[in-house]
Amino acid sequence: DTAVSQTPKYLVTQMGNDKSIKCEQNLGHDTMYWYKQDSKKFLKIMFSYNNKELIINETVPNRFSPKSPDKAHLNLHINSLELGDSAVYFCASSQDRGYPIEKLFFGSGTQLSVL
């Protein structure tokens, strides 16, 4: 069973469209994250949720909106897609938000290409 699964794996879309990426974890973890990996492989945190509560909200355009219906799911909705949004988006989870984060479990990523 995949611990952190995200769909779709690939997403190709036109500029201006709205798209969503879904993530689910079956590890029973309390905290989930969205990371963005750019073309140079740099990993940057976007959001973090703990038990459906937003706890980290980095400086990302407000076109990006995370939603956590329950602690096992964290979805990412992106409005009005732009060329610069092209990247790989990773969902991750950890046991809790406590200190330190002992281990992050990452999904396999969603490659978003905006044309």
Strand-pair partners of 22: 7
2-31 residues in contact with other proteins (CB under 8 A) are: 4, 31
Residues in contact with other proteins, counted by CB under 8 A, come to a total of 26
In the range 54-93, which residues lie near other proteins by CB under 8 A? 55-56, 90, 92
- Candidates 1, 14, 41, 59; binder of other proteins (CB under 8 A) is 41
What tokens were used for 18? 């709205």
Long-range contacts of the stretch 54-63 (C-beta < 8 A, 24+): 55/31, 55/97, 60/36
Q: Which stretch binds other proteins (CB under 8 A): 19-27, 59-67, 70-78, 104-112?
A: 104-112
The residue among 15 and 43 lying less far from other proteins, judged by its C-beta, is 43
Rounded least distance, CB 90 to other proteins, Å: 5
- Which residues make up the interface to other proteins (CB under 8 A)? 4, 31, 40-45, 48, 50, 55-56, 90, 92, 97-104, 106-109
